[in-house]
Amino acid sequence: MFSRSALLVPNHGQQQVRGMATLKAIAMRLKSVKNIQKITQSMKMVSAAKYARAERELKVARPYGAGTSAFYDKAEVKGEEEKPNQLIVACSSDRGLCGAIHSSICKHIKAGLAQDASKTAVICIGDKSRAQLARVFSQNIIAQVGEVGRKPATFEDAARIATFILNSGYDFGQGKIIYNKFKTVVSYDTLELPFFTPSAISAAEKINVYDSLDADVIQSYMEYSLTSLLFFTLKEGACSEQSSRMTAMDSASKNAGEMIEKLTLTYNRTRQAVITGELIEIISGAAAV
């Protein structure tokens, strides 16, 4: 594109000569790229602020999530073998422009569903994952949670989602939450976190070690631990998303900056060429007199 404008044909600037971008076109493009750079820079600032807050909240939520999954590990709870149905919860959000956050979750789910998609149901938290999965697995998606990502998640939100999952009517033997675990500002991992039904917990290997349990306690425990796992994954997802958006907007601003430099050089060259052309005309016109 830039090499084409090097083909200089002197004209008055009004006619579009094939192979050369007019001065006005370059100026318009330059202005729009400058605006885009301003927007991406401000988005980066906003994400940086939101990331700082999300990281602070994540520090608190991490022991919360670790404490919940510690029990499942120590009691060696496994999914119910008699019920092959599986419930997958995709923990993403509604907003884009954050790099590969949503697509990495969807890739993970697609890989899991590649062999057998009949016994799995998917609940999508956030519009982006639903949009990507609906193209291929629309019959597996049984529910979707909206309005995620605008404000930081609270425990009440997680509780509402947990109630929704448990009342969805899907009879699953085991479930897992796919989420992005925050590692550093520039990297995150897409991991899964399992959750179980009360009967799976009662049938666990080491459950007899635990004293004085009855069905009520197990039911309440399972509901609360599902909520805390969801809370934990929502916080991790939010932190990964904000840091990813920060880096994405940062590279976008840098790319826009490079484009502005190149365009400015082209603009100056084109401007000089037009002036030179006009000078030549004037001189040749004067010489003819």
Partner 1 sequence: MFARTAHTLARQVARAGTRAYSDAPMAFTFASQSQVFYKEANVRQVDVPSFSGSFGILPSHVPSLAVLKPGVLTVFEEAGTSKKYFVSSGIVTINQDSSVQVLAEEAAAVEELDLASARDILSKAQSAASTAATEEAKAEALITVEVAEELVKAAESG
Which residues contact partner 1 by CB under 8 A? 57, 59-61, 63-64, 66-68, 70-71, 74, 154-155, 206, 209-213, 216-218, 220-221, 224-225, 228, 231
Choice between 43 and 230, CB closer to partner 1: 230
Choice between 61 and 122, CB closer to partner 1: 61
Q: Which residue, 166, 165, 162, 88, is CA-closest to 129?
A: 88
Choice between 99 and 237, CB closer to partner 1: 237
Choice between 94 and 157, CB closer to partner 1: 157
Distances 171 to 67, 162, 164, 168, 224 between C-alpha atoms, Å: 26, 15, 13, 9, 19
- The distance of closest approach from Cβ of residue 76 to partner 1 in the complex, given in angstroms and rounded to an integer, is 11
Distances 123 to 113, 126, 145, 191, 227 between C-alpha atoms, Å: 14, 10, 8, 16, 15
7 φψ region: left (φ > 0), alpha (ψ -120 to 50), beta (else):
beta
- The distance of closest approach from Cβ of residue 176 to partner 1 in the complex, given in angstroms and rounded to an integer, is 20
- The distance of closest approach from Cβ of residue 212 to partner 1 in the complex, given in angstroms and rounded to an integer, is 6
Backbone angles phi, psi at 214, to 5 degrees: -130, 180
Q: How far is Cα of residue 162 from the mean position of the Cα atoms in its chain?
A: 22
- The distance of closest approach from Cβ of residue 113 to partner 1 in the complex, given in angstroms and rounded to an integer, is 32
Angle subtended at Cα 40 by Cα 36 and Cα 45, rounded to the nearest 5 degrees? 150
- The distance of closest approach from Cβ of residue 88 to partner 1 in the complex, given in angstroms and rounded to an integer, is 24
Which letter does DSSP use for residue 234 in this model?
A: H
Q: Are 122 and 138 in contact (CB under 8 A)?
A: no
Q: What is the CA radius of gyration of the chain?
A: 28
Choice between 27 and 207, CB closer to partner 1: 207
Q: How far apart are CA 39 and CA 46, in angstroms?
A: 11
Three-state SS for 59?
helix
- The distance of closest approach from Cβ of residue 117 to partner 1 in the complex, given in angstroms and rounded to an integer, is 34
Choice between 61 and 88, CB closer to partner 1: 61
Three-state SS for 4?
helix
- The distance of closest approach from Cβ of residue 163 to partner 1 in the complex, given in angstroms and rounded to an integer, is 13
Choice between 82 and 214, CB closer to partner 1: 214
